[in-house]
């Protein structure tokens, strides 16, 4: 009797039974096989399961909370006017519709690959590669985009002491500088921390998230003392189109709630805790974003935000006249940005680990250190690339490019939920999307709607990124794919056997 094949180890030689291009692009990877490989550690050390629901929730909140409010608020208010809080609510609704789909899939596929793995299990290798390539854009570029904003708040902190960094060292080329030193440094520090260990990184992130929530609540308390309802008139000076355009941009603020799903192999009880963490984090983040947006507009007319950097700090300075308040907030904002960089960079390395495990990218990204239990080499490579991007690329181009890649990946997760409900209804689900199939359909349509509202330049950037991704797939991924390396008989046997096996990770 033939032994059931696995995908571990080196890629077998290309044989006569290797699938055609069309068949390879449609090959799905069985869920049970994904989980077994994660538990086996691919013949080497595996990731350590050390996260509970608190750490998972804080990873999600840490990767999400603060980005739009602290970094791009000044760029978004001129698009929507006083209705910016509605833009945040619309973007939050779009994110929530996708978040419930993520919650269901995270319970079904408790591995490190997030939406890349979900897509591989449902739509095949071709769409999985596209999704993974979008996630590289989402995670790595969003880290750089957020880190770029660190320079603003470092200068606000130093300004209290009568000093600022010169533009040459606090702005990237194109924005009047040479290199954004604060952005580069913050990414390097996050990389070093991640290399040391995931458990240590998670506890530091939890501490920083508590500080981050505290400074935003502090801002609201101060801003509401200067609240002027007249600042909300007219509510829609730029019309509904302006609200939609701002919603597409501030959707960037919700990128990161899916970071918890990348911790599927490091959660102690992923099938139970991942859905809880995703939903809880969305509730926390959306509530705080809308509250801060209302407080900011109530404190200052919407025209004031045009061209204003570090807007929340300046509002505190003008209301209180006390430099120490601005100092506390600016220093807290730097920590908040550090939390986002740390958690999103973490998610990126785990996505690449899963893609490497499948042979679609070089094996170096999937090597787990025996000493630290983390993918050290992959983390260092990603950290260096992101640090250089953060130091040398302006924020605007990064934020919009990140949003389009994320929206595409979110749409695929909504489709994945629909597929698995139809194809594998017998699978045990620890969380189920409510109002199925309406919710995932609306989630996918909302993502497409927000993508359409992004500018032509963003679409052009996305198209170029996809072309580069196709070149990478045909140049490396297609030839090294472990799923494609199985001949047709082996693949059919693996799929049939995996479909009858229970998931190794028990809820």
Residue in this structure with the two tokens 């010169």, named with its chain if needed: 166
Kindly state the percentage of the chain with pLDDT values over 70: 90
* 127 has a pLDDT exceeding 70: yes
Asked if residue 65 lies in contact with residue 282, where contact means CB atoms within 8 angstroms, the answer is no
Closest alpha carbon to 256 in 447, 402, 435: 402
Instruction: Give the per-residue pLDDT at 33.
Output: 81
Tokens linked to 129:
């590669």
Distance of CA 169 to the CA centre of its chain: 27
Among 292-296, 317-321, 377-381, whose mean pLDDT is lowest?
317-321
Checking if the pLDDT of 79 tops 80, the result is: yes
pLDDT, averaged across the chain: 83
Q: Where are the alpha helices (DSSP H) in 224-255?
A: 239-250
Preceding amide of 234 cis, omega within 30: yes
- Position 438 scores a pLDDT of 94
What are 296-355's pLDDT values in tens digits?
Answer: 999 999 999 887 777 888 888 889 888 777 788 777 878 888 888 888 888 899 999 999
Token reading at 189: 């520090």
Q: How many angstroms separate the CA atoms of 342 and 193, rounded?
A: 8
pTM: 0.82
Whether the predicted pLDDT of 17 surpasses 90: no
Q: Which of 104-113, 367-376, 454-463, 498-507 has the lowest mean pLDDT?
A: 498-507
Most confident of 172-181, 255-264, 356-365, 403-412: 356-365
Mean per-residue pLDDT for 100-112? Answer: 88
What whole-number distance in Å separates Cα of residue 94 and Cα of residue 104? 16
Question: pLDDT tens for residues 385-442?
Answer: 888 888 887 665 556 667 788 888 889 999 999 999 998 888 888 899 999 999 999 9
DSSP 52: -
Per residue in 134-170, pLDDT (tens digit) is 888 777 777 777 777 777 777 777 777 778 888 788 7
ω into 437 cis (within 30 of 0): yes
Q: How far apart are CA 5 and CA 494, in angstroms?
A: 6
- How many helices, marked H, and strands, marked E, lie in the chain? 23, 0
Q: What confidence score (pLDDT) does residue 364 get?
A: 92
pLDDT for 221 equals 93
Is residue 497 scored above 70 in pLDDT?
Answer: no
- Residue 307 backbone class (left: φ over 0; alpha: ψ -120 to 50; beta: rest): left
Average of per-residue pLDDT across 234-257? 84
Q: What pLDDT was estimated at residue 336?
A: 81
Residue 414: the pLDDT is: 94
The pLDDT score that the predictor gives to residue 128 is: 93
**Cα–Cα distance between 381 and 38 in angstroms, integer?**
22
For tokens 């993502």, name the residue.
Answer: 447
User: How many Å is the Cα radius of gyration of the chain?
Assistant: 23
CATH class of 21-497: mainly alpha
- Predicted confidence band at 13 (pLDDT cuts at 50, 70, 90)? very low
Higher pLDDT, 11 or 18: 18
Helix orientation angle between 53-64 and 198-223, rounded to the nearest 10 degrees: 60
Degrees (nearest 5) of the Cα angle 138, 143, 147? Answer: 145
pLDDT band at 249 (very low <50, low <70, confident <90, very high): confident
In the chain, where the domains are located: 21-497
Say which DSSP state 229 is in.
Answer: G
Q: What is the pLDDT of residue 291?
A: 92
């Amino acid at each position: 009797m033939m032994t059931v094949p696995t995908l571990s180890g080196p890629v077998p030689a290309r044989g006569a039974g290797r699938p055609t291009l069309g068949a390879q692009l449609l090959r799905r990877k069985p869920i049970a096989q994904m989980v077994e490989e994660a538990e086996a550690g691919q013949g080497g050390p595996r990731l350590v399961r050390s996260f509970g629901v608190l750490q998972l929730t804080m990873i999600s909140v840490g990767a999400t909370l603060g980005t739009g409010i602290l970094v791009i608020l000044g760029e978004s208010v001129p698009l929507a006017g006083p209705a910016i809080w509605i833009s945040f609510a619309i973007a939050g609704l779009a994110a929530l519709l996708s978040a419930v789909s993520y919650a269901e899939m995270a319970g079904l596929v408790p591995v490190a690959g997030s939406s890349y793995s979900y897509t591989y299990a449902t739509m095949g290798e071709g769409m999985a590669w596209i999704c993974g390539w979008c996630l590289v854009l989402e995670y790595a570029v969003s880290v750089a985009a957020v880190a770029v904003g660190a320079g603003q708040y470092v200068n606000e902190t130093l300004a209290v002491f009568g000093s600022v960094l010169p533009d040459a060292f606090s702005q990237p080329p194109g924005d009047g500088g040479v290199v954004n030193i604060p952005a580069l440094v913050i990414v390097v520090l996050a990389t070093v921390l991640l290399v040391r260990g995931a458990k240590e990184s998670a506890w530091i992130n939890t501490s920083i998230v508590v500080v981050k929530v505290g400074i935003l609540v502090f801002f609201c308390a101060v801003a509401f003392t200067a609240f002027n309802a007249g600042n909300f008139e007219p509510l829609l000076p730029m019309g509904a189109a302006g609200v939609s355009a701002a919603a597409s941009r501030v959707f960037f603020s919700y990128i990161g709630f899916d970071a918890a799903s990348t911790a599927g192999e490091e959660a102690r009880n992923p099938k139970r805790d991942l859905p809880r963490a995703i939903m809880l984090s969305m509730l926390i983040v959306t509530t705080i974003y809308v509250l801060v947006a209302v407080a900011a507009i109530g404190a200052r007319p919407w025209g004031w935000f045009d061209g204003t950097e570090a807007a929340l700090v300046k509002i505190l300075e003008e209301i209180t006249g006390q430099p120490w308040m601005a100092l506390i907030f600016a220093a807290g904002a730097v920590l908040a940005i550090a939390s986002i960089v740390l958690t999103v960079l973490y998610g990126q390395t785990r996505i690449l680990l899963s893609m490497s495990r499948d042979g679609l990218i070089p094996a170096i990204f999937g090597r787990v250190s025996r000493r630290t239990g983390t993918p050290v080499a992959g983390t260092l490579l990603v950290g260096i690339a992101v640090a250089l991007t953060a130091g040398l690329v302006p924020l605007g181009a990064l934020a919009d490019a990140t949003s389009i890649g994320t929206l595409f990946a979110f749409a695929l997760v909504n489709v994945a939920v629909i597929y698995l409900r139809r194809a594998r209804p017998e699978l045990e689900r620890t969380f189920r999307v409510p109002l199925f199939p309406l919710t995932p359909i609306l989630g996918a349509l909302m993502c497409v709607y927000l993508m359409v509202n992004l500018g032509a330049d963003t679409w052009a950037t996305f198209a170029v990124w996809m072309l580069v991704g196709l070149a990478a797939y045909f140049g490396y991924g297609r030839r090294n794919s472990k799923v494609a390396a199985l001949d047709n008989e082996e693949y059919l046997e693996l799929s049939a056997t995996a479909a009858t096996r229970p998931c190794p990770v028990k809820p």
